[in-house]
Amino acid sequence: MKKKALLITFVLVTVIAIAGCKPNWTKDPNTYYSSISNTANMNPYSETLNDSSTLYGYLTDALYEADFDWEEAIANDVADAKGDFSNTAALGYNYYPSMASKRPVPASGTENNDKLTSKELYDKVWTINLKSDLVFEDGTPINADTFVQSWKYLLDPKLNNARAVNLYSSTSGLPVEGAEAYYRQGKARTENGAPIYLDGANEVKYVLDTHSIVEVDGEDVFIFRTLDKKENGDPIYATSDSYQVNLDGSPVLVDGVKVLISEGLKYVWASSFEKLGKDDVAEAGDSNRYGDGEKPTGLSETKNYPAATWESVGIKKIDNLSFKITLTVNYSQWDVMSYLASATVGVVHLEKYAAGLRDGGSSTTYGTIDNPLVSYGPYKLDTWQDGVVYAFSKNDKFHAKDNYRIGAVRLSVIANQQTILNEYKAGRLDVAGVGGEFYADYASNPLLKLSPTTTTFRLAFNIGGRSDGKKQNPILADADFRKALYLAIDRDEFASEVRPPSEAQQGYISNIYKGVESAENTYRESEPGQNVFKDLYPNTSGYNSTEAKRLFDQAYNAAVAAGKIASGSKVVVDYVMYEVDSNRKVAEWVKSTTENIFGDKFEFNIVGLSDAGIDAAWDNKDFDLTFGGWTGMIFNPAELMAIVYNHYYPDYILENGFETGELEVLFPLSTSGQARAQDVYEDFVVGMGLDPDVDDADKVYEVFMDAFNKYVGGDASYAGVYQNGYYALVVRDILDSIVDGVVTATVDTAGDFASAQFAADYADIEADANEITAAIELALLNEMISIPLITSRSAAIYSERVVFEVPEYHAVMGWGGFTYMYLSTAE
């Protein structure tokens, strides 16, 4: 299943002193001066922080790169010539070869340079052809061997590179055949991040997740959410993903849910439930959570992935300047280029990388100050003074050096924002961030650049229990209470006074998102996108203190009547945050606002934690409410929401206790959309090796289940059939659910359908995308899993000598980067 990579954004601040400057210091006319926090490693394979990315961005290149599509713009009368930015917002973009000599060539041999064709040209096998003049800064040639060996390092099971996922995952990269098996060999097999333990000949899948007590047919029943269990290698399935047992641990059958459990098989839930104690979860509707890292009683040995050879990986040299990649599923030429347009799947200097290997090959110094990255990009690193400065100069051996007009870059190590601004005012920096408390002083400055982002910050609820033993107030589970908090937030004031220069955000999708890449307008501008808020006071960005107080009192009285809280007692909500000034300001504002509205029956308890402390609190769900943000690609927000707000993707979600994937959604699907879906279904069936004119849905399901069982059993060669089958079944369910043009689905299936449906354009694609996005967003808002607050905007002030050719922010290309800017003082 192909899903775009996402990134959760957290605000971490450190303060580092900088070296003093000489009184007679003057700027070099050819050098661009900026600042950055201290960074210990620039290795693109292992590092994921933004500062590392900024640094290695100067030193690296990619097979393909995004740029404005001037040919398209001129043909559509959007521009008169290359470089005409009179209609910046309307300019499209395309992918172009950078290190590659041409677009990827499919096994069919079809070659093209057309954007539309590239989105419709699918294949599993692609040939990458390289330019003949590629070298590192020291003259070492870059050829097919460099890429093959570099990618072998990237996927090395010992190195555990964070970016290896970009070459094996169908959710965030290119699923290269055999790559996942090679990378995972010898590691403990996991599911949803939890190891699979062995109990004799039996497997026990230990999945940390929520559990609760509910009443079924008059009896208290303990619910533990997991996937399948296995006995002697044979899966034990249920028609629901909830396994239900009585309080004494014995299995039960509930109407509509068939649970098959054999006698004598040890299950993790039994020991964990006893450990918690029945008194802790005795009340119907109450809930709790197991502590992360617990090991099942009596189980110690993990089931590991089998050995795999590099020869089984679908990365093969053809000749000195070309290599072939074989994927597990069909990808479009456009997607192949987009996933190869990053230094995270670039190359490393093989000699330096090998020389840096340590600890039996499980780590490397490559990218550190002791073994710096060897450049094959537009600049080379001349000076790295730890905690002081990073200095770069033009790399004359770079194949596209003439595209960069800034001769050198100097980044002083400064993390404190006031210090950065002081250096800018003194003329020693060309740029300084002026967000937050500094924004008001620069809001009308003509040198200010505001950059809208996809980052949406929210207050995330945990209603699924805590692992620290602290009992949550049961009122958290009341949707009226959560909605009361939503309505108590004056987002306009928050955006302008607390986190300027942000934009008030009522929903989970920021204002720059488009339903699909080809959309003419943003999702938020569409009628479905606006209708999401029709019952949430859109004229005041979701703020209504009177209704907030009414809902709070209603939830409070209901909890008293049900005996869940004592009359007159105070509702205390633990708000957990990373302790820095900016976050403290947010917390104090929310505390003052909510306590003012709700009165003396409510307390907003602020808990400030260290960097490690907040990570642990988020991992273990030791909070009632917390503050976090996420950012992702600006297209296909339906798919993005289905990932970010889904407990099956624990790396992205902060919210806990909500079964968001199962929420029902309804949306219309156009006639052209239904025809497109039928074509998509048939394509996936063909990808399974079946004939859609002969094989019915039952046969598709049978082949899918066989491939799935073999895939989860450790045989990654079945990944392609399993993934094609999964999508085929999703699309079939969507088509079968249509009544009078309206689809009935879940958030999960709607998000996966969007992933499959919008891979290529069709007549009503924008309208369909907006409807699906709105349906998912509305379901999440009705459940009120979190309180959207703002969309962030970065604000930076530049010196007069920095010239931007792009006059306004572009949704994809931003301000154009170094290829579209220069220094007016340059010689």
Mean pLDDT across the chain: 84
pLDDT over 70 (residue 335): yes
pLDDT over 60 (residue 788): yes
What does the pLDDT read at residue 253? 38
pLDDT over 60 (residue 135): yes
CA distance 220 to 248: 10
The pLDDT confidence band at residue 301, using thresholds 50, 70 and 90, is low
pLDDT over 90 (residue 242): no
CA distance 636 to 632: 10
Number of neighbouring beta carbons within 10 Å of residue 550? 14
CA distance 182 to 168: 9
What does the pLDDT read at residue 50? 81
Average pLDDT over residues 236-257: 38
pLDDT over 90 (residue 323): yes
What does the pLDDT read at residue 690? 95
What does the pLDDT read at residue 201? 52
What does the pLDDT read at residue 331? 87
pLDDT over 60 (residue 660): yes
Of 679, 647, 681, which is closest to residue 663 (Cα–Cα)?
647
Largest Cα separation within the chain, whole Å, is 84
What does the pLDDT read at residue 619? 84
The upper half-sphere exposure of residue 117, i.e. CA atoms within 13 Å in the direction of its Cβ, equals: 9
pLDDT over 90 (residue 68): yes
Show the DSSP H helices in 570-636 as ranges.
Answer: 581-598, 611-620
- pLDDT tens, position by position, 688-720: 999 999 999 999 999 998 988 887 777 777 888
Phi/psi zone of residue 611: left (φ > 0), alpha (ψ -120 to 50 degrees), beta?
Answer: alpha
Average pLDDT over residues 261-269: 29
pLDDT over 60 (residue 671): yes
Tokens of 9: 């954004």
Query: Measured on CA atoms in the order 507, 512, 515, 516, is the torsion positive or negative?
Result: negative
What does the pLDDT read at residue 477? 93
Q: CA triplet 159, 162, 168: central angle to 5 degrees?
A: 90
Beta bridge mates, 210: 289
- pLDDT tens, position by position, 444-474: 999 999 998 888 999 999 998 887 778 888 9
- pLDDT tens, position by position, 407-448: 999 999 998 999 999 999 999 999 999 988 899 999 999 999
What does the pLDDT read at residue 235? 34
Where is pLDDT greater, at 24 or 86? Answer: 86
CA distance 732 to 729: 5
CA distance 411 to 429: 9
pLDDT over 80 (residue 208): no
pLDDT over 60 (residue 355): yes
The pLDDT confidence band at residue 302, using thresholds 50, 70 and 90, is low
What does the pLDDT read at residue 339? 92
- Beta strand ranges found along 308-464 (DSSP E): 315-319, 322-332, 357-358, 363-364, 379-385, 389-394, 408-413, 431-433, 448-461
The pLDDT confidence band at residue 826, using thresholds 50, 70 and 90, is confident
- pLDDT tens, position by position, 467-518: 777 888 899 999 999 999 999 999 999 999 999 999 999 999 999 999 998 8
pLDDT over 80 (residue 232): no
Q: Determine how β-strand 408-413 pairs with β-strand 389-394.
A: antiparallel
Rounded to whole angstroms, what are the CA distances from 734 to 136, 638, 753, 755, 827?
Answer: 51, 15, 8, 13, 62
What does the pLDDT read at residue 62? 98
Question: pTM of the predicted model, to two decimals?
Answer: 0.77
CA distance 115 to 11: 37
- pLDDT tens, position by position, 543-585: 999 999 999 999 999 999 999 999 999 999 999 998 988 899 9
Average pLDDT over residues 8-13: 30
What does the pLDDT read at residue 172? 76
Percent of the chain with pLDDT strictly greater than 90: 65
Of 522, 481, 479, which is closest to residue 636 (Cα–Cα)?
522
What does the pLDDT read at residue 415? 84
What does the pLDDT read at residue 211? 38
What does the pLDDT read at residue 191? 54
The pLDDT confidence band at residue 354, using thresholds 50, 70 and 90, is very high
pLDDT over 90 (residue 230): no
- pLDDT tens, position by position, 137-161: 999 999 999 999 999 999 999 999 9
The pLDDT confidence band at residue 65, using thresholds 50, 70 and 90, is very high
The pLDDT confidence band at residue 270, using thresholds 50, 70 and 90, is very low
For 709, phi then psi, to 5°, come to -60, -40
What does the pLDDT read at residue 481? 98
Q: CA triplet 264, 253, 267: central angle to 5 degrees?
A: 30
Q: CA triplet 809, 811, 812: central angle to 5 degrees?
A: 110
Give me the torsion for CA of 74, 79, 82, 84, rounded to 10°: 180
Average pLDDT over residues 175-179: 94
| Contact call for residues 657 and 647 (beta carbons, < 8 A) | no
The pLDDT confidence band at residue 283, using thresholds 50, 70 and 90, is very low
Of 190, 157, 182, 193, which is closest to residue 292 (Cα–Cα)?
193
Where is pLDDT greater, at 418 or 190? Answer: 418
